[in-house]
Amino acid sequence: MTASATGGVAAATAVEPFAPAPLGPLTLRNRVIKAATFEGLTRKHVVNDRLVEFHRVVAAGGVGMTTLAFCAVSPDGCATPNEIVIIPEMAPGLAHLAEAVHAEGAAVSAQLGHAGAVAAATGHRGVSPSPVFSPLAMRRTRQIGVDQIVRVVDDFARSARLVADAGFDAVEVHMGHGYLLSEFLSPSLNKRTDEWGGSLENRARFPLEVVRAVRSAVGDGVAVLVKLNMADGVPGGLWLDESVAVARMLEADGAAHALELTAGSSLQNPMYLFRGEAPMAEMARTMPKLIRPAFRLVGARFLKSYPFEEAYLLPYARQFRAAVGLPLVLLGGINRLDTVRLALDEGFDFVAMGRALLREPDLLRRWQEGATGESLCVHCNKCMATIYRGTRCVLVED
């Protein structure tokens, strides 16, 4: 074994990025997954031709699997006005999307989530483990009741079954980014004193029930991934000691086939995930005119700026590779083929790429054909401000 340039230890036998690889019951054509980057293309909450083409192009570009991003399991779980809501009427459109991706040789996954407190920004009251102030809606959320917890578990299971029946190969349970399941794990957001709060075991109870229900709903033919926050990036939030313990719980449960490791909070600190420039001016322009001056004054407290580094979540993710045997998906600033190889050699089973593939959907295909250059993504994060009219890289001409 040899030491890597970034401080890790490379395995003695290199893993080929573009060879077929198992993911639960699936075999993906390679080890690169298109990460869930919210597409912002579905104003009426339904699959349309633009959304299908978005994923078809990514699939044609060579990824092993593409991920349909944020699919709300109920209308009151929407994070934005223009995202998919998984209801029976969506089935034909989802089937069409799956067929288009499969025709290009890739698999397709649906990211399932409930926005929790973040849903307050869409006109809903917003629910959370304990009442919190939502800076996105400028009001407090309400504490979710036990009866609604039971309903949300059922909503996840129903949604998972629907997308599986529509031909999707995998589902991804969103347990990160300050959405509802992530909020339950967070000691800074979950102040409950009942069986759903307090100890880590209690805070993890609801998220674990969701994963079990999803696995039961889809059966043995569909892969179940969990997108798990390693760290919230806020004082008093979820941190590595507890998130590693949650990963061990998920492994012991046996309901998840893989963990995708992430960080940050849409509610409290979104740039902790993205790193790079904070697109203050661009985000301000997406807001109602009355709010723009206030955002320009205080927005820097919400959109903090972090320096970009290649594979910036790798040091955190190594703690999980050392602690669990579950397949792990590494994401976070992967722009070079040698970084992909490094991650695989360190024992990660897959890598997930987001912004780099927004910039160049065919990057994987060119790497397979012998190109070695890094992505053209400059980490300006101006794509964040395009989510309300169709997520795209602003450096690519329409």
Mind telling me the catalytic residues? 179
8 A C-beta contact, residue 171 and residue 109: yes
8 A C-beta contact, residue 74 and residue 122: no
Q: How many CB atoms lie within 10 A of CB 162?
A: 21
Dihedral of CA 347/352/353/354: which sign?
negative
Helices (H) and strands (E) in the chain, counts: 14, 16
Nearest to 381 by CA among 363, 346, 349, 355: 355
d(CA 302, CA 343): 31
What value does the CA radius of gyration of the chain take, rounded to a whole number of Å? 20
Residue that the structure tokens 């993710």 belong to: 317
d(CA 200, CA 192): 12
- How crowded is the C-beta side of 135, counted as CA atoms within 13 Å? 15
CA angle 62, 64, 69 (to 5 degrees): 100
Amino acid type, 194: D
8 A C-beta contact, residue 255 and residue 248: no
d(CA 342, CA 274): 21
d(CA 35, CA 222): 18
Task: Work out the widest C-alpha separation in the chain, in whole angstroms.
Answer: 59
d(CA 230, CA 211): 17
N-terminal to C-terminal alpha carbon distance within the chain? 47
